[in-house]
Copies of this chain bind each other. A is one copy, B any other.
Amino acid sequence: MRHFTVELEELNQKLLEMGGLVESAIHRSVRALVDQDRDLAEQVIRDEPRINRMEMEIDGMATRLLALRQPVARDLRFLTSALKINNDLERIGDLAQHVAERALSLMHHPLVKPMTDIPKMASMVQSMLLKCLDAFVNSDEPLARSVLLADDEVDRLRDAVYAELLATMQRDPGVVPAAVDLIFVARNLERIGDHATNIAEDVVFLVKGIDVRHHAEQAEKV
């Protein structure tokens, strides 16, 4: 039987590999949208099953280690966090696929609005994802906490995108279908930010053993 430490390290590596795939998917889906690049959008959609298979593989590894190794304390937190982070990464992969599908639907339309806020949202959520994966690898709690703060900025940008698109639709009903696609893109990017936030919360839990989920409302109750 191999060393438990080696198995945990393999699981760690696998999660990072999955993080890399998901990060590329976000990047490509938004480039596909901005550059109206059909090939890139199709690549994201084609690669999604690979992310799903990797999720099931990681789930299998973590569950097997829980069963066979009877971990305690930090190792137990690592394995339960791995299950959750895995799930969040898979959902981010789904959301990137949705963005790619909207990019395809918008391929032959002229752009509704200059594409500035949406790529900005995209680079913010990509940076959140990179940071929370870094924080996970290095058990860097302050870095994980910085991701929790960044999420508010993403929400602010989303509000700006919505307001602008609603006004555009009211002025020019012809753009309604394309503008609704963009509203969903902004919504998907915001949700990617939410999942990165979940991962950051899991990292804080892993490092400190404290549950910071639903932090805002808990702070209210104190």
Contacts and interface: CB of A to CB of B under 8 A. Distances in A.
Nearest to A174: B170
Please classify the interface of chain A as helix (H, G, I), strand (E, B), loop, or mixed, using the class held by over half of its residues. helix
A71 B70 CA distance: 8
Interface residues of A, number: 36
Interface stretch (A8-16, A145-153, A176-184): A176-184
The count of identical subunits is 2
A49 interface: yes
Nearest to A220: B49
25 contacts: A49-B214, A49-B221, A52-B213, A52-B214, A53-B214, A55-B213, A56-B214, A59-B211, A60-B211, A63-B76, A63-B80, A66-B66, A67-B71, A67-B72, A70-B70, A87-B87, A162-B180, A166-B176, A166-B177, A166-B180, A169-B176, A171-B173, A173-B173, A176-B176, A184-B187
Interface of A: 49, 52-53, 55-56, 59-60, 63, 66-67, 70-72, 76, 80, 83-84, 87, 162, 166, 169-171, 173-174, 176-177, 180, 183-184, 187, 211, 213-214, 217, 221
Given A59-B211, A80-B83, 16 more contacts: A49-B221, A52-B217, A53-B214, A55-B213, A56-B211, A60-B211, A66-B80, A67-B72, A166-B176, A166-B177, A166-B180, A169-B169, A170-B176, A173-B173, A180-B180, A187-B187
Q: 6 closest A-B pairs (Cβ-Cβ)?
A: A52-B214, A70-B70, A170-B173, A169-B176, A49-B217, A67-B76
